[in-house]
């Protein structure tokens, strides 16, 4: 949508780790990605030098031909030979340019492929807490727009800057050897161009930076409000949101106009200096008795001189834009995952499913404790339910078991092993999670069940669906297990999505099951089917359940009641009712 836009990350995001990278460090980090492709860049550089030299020779040939055509005796043979040489050089120039471009494209695209893979792999390692602090729109922009800007840097901008510098230097040297007096005179307009280009570069850099900030605001607004369009329409806030978007759109329009105005002033000025240079060439060329060929050579060379200088201003801004993009990418790569494997981390094998919390304290931020000195034991194969008011810490307990977050104090043990010393992938591989908000990917029912694991057979998929009772509605689809799933599974009911998530969990053979409000927002008929599925799944291993509906957890082996981040009651359903405590009050509220 905004291919060349690099958002200038809002202040909140900047505080999460964005910082300016010293130029030396920046070069070293970029070189890490350039190094594997150095043979291609070296080949492109050699072709570049050849192309620049060949390009500089062409006006000299035209100059010689001009002298031959204006002499008293016209030597047709020499003219034809030079014309042939001109044609051959032009042909070779374009052939070399093609190969140069191909080498750069292959090298640049491979670099961006590697960088994009590194960024995405790094994002996958980040914790839930870090995801909540970074806007999804910002992460998407970094993986797409930023890498594209760096791709332009490697495949076009850097090589063009080198070509332009070599061309400017080479052209001036040739002009100096043709006639040093006229070359010195031309230093006046050349100096004016350099000064104006530097001023323009500084101005346009600030304008582009402002543009990136404004387009980031537009992108963020669109991302948030398109996702929340249902709420906007339900509460009739379309006019308000349209007015808000109009303000942001207008601010962006103004920044674009400032950029256009800058180019509108700069380019005519360059053209004026170019015309002034032409006038100087013809005026002083006649005054100092240059030959027609020499005047033509200066005429052609001054054009080759001014074009690169004019382009350099744009290219320097492209470099600045790419550097800004790379800084954002490297800053993201520098954000260390909060949850990482320790050097002595081990693999989980032969899991029995005993879970123990020992004096666990946890806060998402600072010392705003969500869990306070929580201790409990869940024996292998038990079903344990967590109940309590909203904000009591129920979901947090489940999130800590799979190491979505790291605790600040205490220990969490599985089969007597501290989970901090268990490899994260190994830990999550033995734990199946079924959440209230089921996420289905675009694809088919089959791919959402297997998650593209080709080692899982169709028979295993069908068996898992039969086990949880999902086969009934899947078999009624026209394409059965190949039924398309649109974004987020919006073409399925909540109950159907939940049963698919159950089947997906069973299919991947966990030894510990986690259900977080998995029966919420389900109609009564579907709830009965899901309860039947849950009864079957209890035989798989240890099960941890969070549920507001106390009717769904009455048969749990253990119920842990949380209040204000502390365990206030533990026991079976009947025991807790007989205590006439907090659980008894919750039960009475629901069933009276």
What residues are paired with 418 via a beta bridge?
413
Q: Are 509 and 461 in contact (CB under 8 A)?
A: no
pLDDT-based confidence at residue 125 (cuts at 50, 70, 90): confident
Structure-block tokens of residue 229: 């369009």
Q: Which has the higher per-residue pLDDT, 313 or 473?
A: 473
Burial of 396 (0-12, 13-18, 19+ CB in 10 A): buried
| Number of other CB atoms surrounding residue 451 within 10 Å | 12
CA gap 330, 188 in Å, rounded: 42
CA gap 403, 412 in Å, rounded: 10
Shortest CA distance to 64 belongs to which of 349, 291, 402, 378? Answer: 291
* pLDDT for the residue numbered 13: 40
Report the side by side order of strands in the sheet with 542-546.
431-435, 512-516, 542-546, 383-387, 558-563, 566-571
Shortest CA distance to 575 belongs to which of 591, 561, 590? Answer: 561
Burial of 87 (0-12, 13-18, 19+ CB in 10 A): exposed
Structure-block tokens of residue 509: 């053979």
CA gap 411, 211 in Å, rounded: 49
Token look-up 């996420």 returns 439
Quote the CATH superfamily of domain 353-430+544-592. Answer: P-loop containing nucleotide triphosphate hydrolases (3.40.50.300)
Q: Are 217 and 251 in contact (CB under 8 A)?
A: yes
Q: Are 186 and 179 in contact (CB under 8 A)?
A: no
CA gap 387, 548 in Å, rounded: 7
3-class secondary-structure state, position 332:
helix
CA gap 334, 354 in Å, rounded: 36
Q: What angle do CA 458, 463, 466 make, to 5 degrees?
A: 130
Token look-up 């790291």 returns 406
CA gap 431, 444 in Å, rounded: 24
pLDDT-based confidence at residue 99 (cuts at 50, 70, 90): very high
CA gap 126, 129 in Å, rounded: 8
CA gap 238, 401 in Å, rounded: 42
CA gap 424, 342 in Å, rounded: 10
Q: Are 27 and 158 in contact (CB under 8 A)?
A: no
Domain ranges for the chain = 11-334, 353-430+544-592
Of 68-77, 175-184, 287-296, 460-469, give the lowest mean pLDDT range. Answer: 68-77
CA gap 571, 560 in Å, rounded: 7
Shortest CA distance to 464 belongs to which of 430, 509, 496? Answer: 509
Residue 452 vs residues 48, 115, 437, 443, 446: alpha-carbon distances, Å: 45, 24, 21, 10, 8
pLDDT at 3 over 70: no
Which range of 43-52, 286-295, 310-319, 338-347 scores highest in mean pLDDT? It is: 43-52
CB-side exposure of 494: number of CA atoms within 13 Å?
14
Q: Are 435 and 518 in contact (CB under 8 A)?
A: yes
* pLDDT for the residue numbered 201: 74
pLDDT digits over 148-162, tens only? Answer: 777 777 777 777 888
3-class secondary-structure state, position 550:
helix
Name residues whose C-beta falls within 8 Å of residue 571's C-beta, 6 or more positions apart in sequence: 558, 559, 579
Shortest CA distance to 310 belongs to which of 421, 182, 187, 197? Answer: 197
Of 75-84, 114-123, 482-491, 532-541, give the lowest mean pLDDT range. Answer: 532-541
Structure-block tokens of residue 176: 């100096």
* pLDDT for the residue numbered 8: 38
Q: Are 90 and 62 in contact (CB under 8 A)?
A: no
H/E stretch holding 191:
helix 187-227
H/E stretch holding 414:
strand 409-414
Q: Are 285 and 182 in contact (CB under 8 A)?
A: yes
Domain 11-334 shares a fold with domain 353-430+544-592: no
- Burial string for 278-289 (b: 16+ CB within 10 Å, else e) reads bebbeebbeeee
Would you say domain 11-334 falls under CATH 1.10.287.610? no
Of 53-62, 133-142, 316-325, 578-587, give the lowest mean pLDDT range. Answer: 133-142
- DSSP code at position 20: P
3-class secondary-structure state, position 443:
strand
pLDDT-based confidence at residue 6 (cuts at 50, 70, 90): very low
Q: Residues 528-541: what's their mean pLDDT?
A: 70
Q: Residues 173-179: what's their mean pLDDT?
A: 85
Instruction: Report the C-alpha dihedral over residues 21, 25, 30, 31, rounded to 10 degrees.
Output: 170
pTM: 0.64
What distance lies between CA 486 and its chain's CA centroid? Answer: 23
Helix ranges, 367-457 (H): 394-401, 424-429, 445-450
In order, the DSSP letters of 254-272 are HHHHHHHHHHHHHHHHHHH
Q: Are 241 and 232 in contact (CB under 8 A)?
A: yes
Q: What is the mean pLDDT of the chain?
A: 80
CA gap 369, 362 in Å, rounded: 6
Shortest CA distance to 569 belongs to which of 388, 354, 399? Answer: 388
* pLDDT for the residue numbered 296: 84
């Amino acid at each position: 949508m905004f291919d060349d836009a690099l958002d200038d990350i809002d202040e909140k995001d900047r505080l999460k780790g964005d910082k300016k990278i010293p130029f030396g460090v920046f070069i070293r980090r970029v070189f890490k990605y350039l190094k594997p492709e150095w043979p291609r860049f070296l080949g492109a550089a050699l072709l570049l030098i050849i192309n620049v030299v060949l390009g500089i020779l062409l006006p000299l040939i035209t100059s010689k031909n001009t002298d031959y055509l204006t002499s008293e005796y016209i030597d047709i043979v020499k003219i034809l030979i030079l014309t042939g040489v001109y044609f051959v050089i032009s042909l070779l120039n374009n052939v070399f340019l093609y190969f140069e471009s191909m080498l750069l494209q292959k090298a640049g695209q491979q670099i961006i492929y590697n960088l994009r893979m590194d960024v995405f792999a790094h994002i996958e390692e980040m914790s839930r807490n870090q995801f909540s602090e970074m806007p999804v729109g910002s992460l998407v922009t970094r993986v797409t727009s930023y890498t594209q800007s760096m791709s332009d840097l490697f495949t076009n901008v850097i090589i063009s800057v080198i070509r332009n510098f070599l061309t400017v230097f080479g052209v001036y040297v040739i002009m100096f050897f043709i006639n040093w007096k006229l070359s010195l005179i031309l230093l006046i307009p050349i100096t004016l161009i350099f000064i104006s280009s530097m001023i323009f570069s500084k101005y346009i850099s600030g304008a582009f930076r402002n543009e990136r900030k404004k387009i980031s605001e537009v992108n963020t607004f669109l991302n948030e409000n398109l996702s929340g369009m249902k709420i906007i329409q339900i509460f009739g806030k379309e006019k308000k949101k349209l007015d808000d978007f109009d303000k942001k759109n207008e601010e962006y329009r103004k920044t674009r106009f400032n950029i256009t105005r800058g180019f509108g002033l700069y380019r005519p000025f360059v053209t004026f200096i170019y015309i002034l240079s032409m006038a100087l060439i013809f005026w002083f060329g006649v005054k100092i008795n240059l030959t027609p060929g020499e005047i033509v050579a200066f005429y052609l060379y001054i054009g080759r001189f001014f074009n690169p200088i004019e382009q350099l201003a744009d290219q320097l801004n492209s470099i600045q834009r790419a550097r800004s993009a790379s800084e954002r990418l490297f800053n993201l790569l520098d954000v260390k995952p909060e949850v990482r494997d320790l050097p002595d981390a081990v693999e989980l094998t032969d899991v029995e499913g005993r879970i123990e919390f020992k004096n666990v304290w946890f806060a998402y931020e600072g010392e705003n404790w969500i869990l306070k000195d929580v201790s409990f034991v869940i024996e292998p194969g038990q079903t344990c339910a967590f109940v309590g008011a909203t904000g009591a810490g129920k979901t947090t307990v489940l999130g800590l078991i799979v190491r979505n977050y790291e605790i600040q104090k205490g220990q969490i043990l599985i089969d007597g092993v501290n989970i901090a010393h268990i490899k994260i992938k190994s830990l999550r591989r033995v734990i199946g999670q079924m959440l209230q908000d089921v996420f289905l990917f675009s694809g088919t029912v089959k791919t959402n069940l297997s998650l593209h694991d080709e080692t899982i057979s169709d028979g295993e998929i069908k068996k898992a669906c039969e086990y949880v009772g999902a086969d009934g509605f899947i078999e009624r689809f026209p394409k059965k297990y190949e039924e398309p799933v649109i974004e987020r599974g919006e073409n399925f009911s909540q109950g159907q999505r939940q049963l698919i998530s159950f089947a997906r969990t069973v299919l991947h053979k966990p030894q510990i099951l986690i259900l977080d409000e998995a029966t919420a927002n389900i109609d009564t008929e579907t709830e009965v089917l899901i309860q039947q599925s849950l009864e079957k799944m209890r035989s798989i291993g240890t099960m941890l359940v969070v549920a507001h509906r106390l009717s769904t957890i009455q048969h749990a082996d253990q119920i842990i009641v949380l209040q204000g981040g502390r365990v206030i009651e533990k026991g079976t359903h009947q025991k807790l009712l007989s205590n006439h405590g907090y659980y008894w009050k919750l039960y009475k509220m629901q069933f009276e």
